[in-house]
Every structure is written in C-alpha cells, then in structure tokens.
C-alpha cells in the first residue's frame, strides 16, 4: 500500500474509533490544512491530526498545529488508536565524541548533536580507509570548495583508490 493510501486508511480507522467513542466526526476534504478530523462531543470541539504510528517512532505536530490546539491521534498498523501517543523514553546517553550527557530519542543514539556525529564518523571514515595525512588534507580542502555532487564523486574515487591499494594492485 503506498503512502497516500496508508494515510487515507489511517483516517478512516481514526474516524471509526472516534465514532465508537461517542464523537460526531467531520473529515477535512482538502489535502492540506491544520487538522484531518474535527470531532465534537457534549458541545466541545476537538481538532485531530491523524498519523500512522510505529512502535519506536512517534510523529509530531507542527508549531502551527500545536498553537491552534490540534491533538495528535495515532493509528498503529494493527488498527489501535491513541490520542497524543508519547515518545518512548530511551533514557540518558553519553556522547561518544564530546562526553556530554543527553536525552536519547532512539535506542541506538550515541551522539548529542549532528556535529558530534559528523566529527566522529568523519574521523572513523579516514581511519578505516587508512588515508595518509596528505590525502586527508587534500580531501578536506577539495570537499570544502566543491558542490555536493562533486563531493560524492570525490569520495567514490578515494574509496576506489584505497581499495586498489589494499588489494595490492597499486603499490
């Protein structure tokens, strides 16, 4: 099932669930808007944004949705519905790069920021491929002055050269 159909399925499941909870339900017919479903019960109005929720990843509302009082209605793949599903708590982690403590958002988080991730994996990449210092400096200088497409081509060439050196094709 493609993404568009999954979203439509989730909205229908959510509407059915809200009807079973005693709400009157009104769907948004436009493809854009702050909310997917407007529901009313006992004179109170509720705006819901329907999202498919996975066990480890929870969708979030935009700032505009939060400010206008939209609630997140999560639909799990098995059809369960939850209003405002919460993100699982993965505890506190220690950054491998700088040693700072941070709140983990996934069970495999090892770094506090993207910059620490980039520093760590950049260093790992160079150590793993055993580049000489001169190659490393040339690579960094070239990559800072060229486009992303050219950086990718340069990275591929460096990997190919290292593979040939490792195999003994190039002394």
User: Per-residue pLDDT tens for 8-32?
Assistant: 899 999 999 999 999 999 998 887 8
CATH classification of the domain holding 37:
3.40.1350.10
Q: 149 lies in which domain range?
A: 129-171
Let me know if residue 72 belongs to a domain. Answer: yes
Let me know if residue 98 belongs to a domain. Answer: no
- pLDDT tens for residues 126-150? 455 555 666 666 766 666 666 677 7
Distance CA 145, CA 130 (A): 23
Q: Are residues 72 and 142 in the same domain?
A: no
Q: Mean pLDDT in the chain?
A: 76
Q: In what order do the strands lie in the sheet with 37-41?
A: 24-27, 37-41, 44-52, 70-75, 81-83
Structure tokens at 13: 């499941």
Closest C-alpha among 66, 46, 56, 52 to residue 13? 52
Structure tokens at 157: 């060439």
Residue 70, helix vs strand vs coil: strand
pLDDT higher than threshold 80 for residue 123: no
- pLDDT tens for residues 70-84? 888 989 888 889 887
pLDDT at 132: 61
Let me know if residue 154 belongs to a domain. Answer: yes
Q: Are residues 11 and 67 in the same domain?
A: yes
Q: Of the ranges 67-76, 99-108, 158-167, which is most confident?
A: 67-76
pLDDT at 128: 53
Average confidence (pLDDT) over 158-164: 71
Q: Are residues 72 and 138 in the same domain?
A: no
Let me know if residue 112 belongs to a domain. Answer: no
Distance CA 56, CA 111 (A): 18
Q: Are residues 79 and 140 in the same domain?
A: no
Q: Are residues 15 and 69 in the same domain?
A: yes
What residues are paired with 51 via a beta bridge? 74
Of 21, 55, 83, the residue that ends a domain is 83
Domains contained in the chain, number: 2
pLDDT at 64: 83
């Amino acid at each position: 099932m493609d993404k568009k159909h999954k979203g439509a399925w989730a909205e229908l499941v959510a509407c059915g669930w809200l009807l079973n909870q005693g709400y009157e339900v009104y769907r948004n017919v436009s493809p854009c808007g702050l909310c997917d479903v407007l529901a009313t019960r006992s004179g109170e109005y509720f705006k819901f944004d329907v999202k498919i929720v996975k066990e480890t990843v929870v969708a979030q509302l935009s700032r505009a949705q939060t400010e206008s009082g939209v609630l997140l209605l999560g639909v799990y793949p098995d059809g369960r519905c939850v209003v405002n599903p919460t993100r699982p708590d993965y505890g506190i982690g220690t950054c491998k790069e700088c040693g700072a403590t941070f709140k983990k958002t996934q069970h495999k988080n090892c770094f506090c920021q993207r910059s620490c991730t980039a520093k760590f994996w950049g260093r790992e990449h160079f150590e793993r491929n055993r580049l000489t210092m001169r190659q490393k400096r040339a690579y960094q200088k070239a990559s800072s002055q060229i486009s992303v497409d050219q950086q990718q081509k340069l990275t591929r060439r460096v990997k190919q050269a290292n593979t040939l050196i490792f195999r003994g094709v190039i002394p």
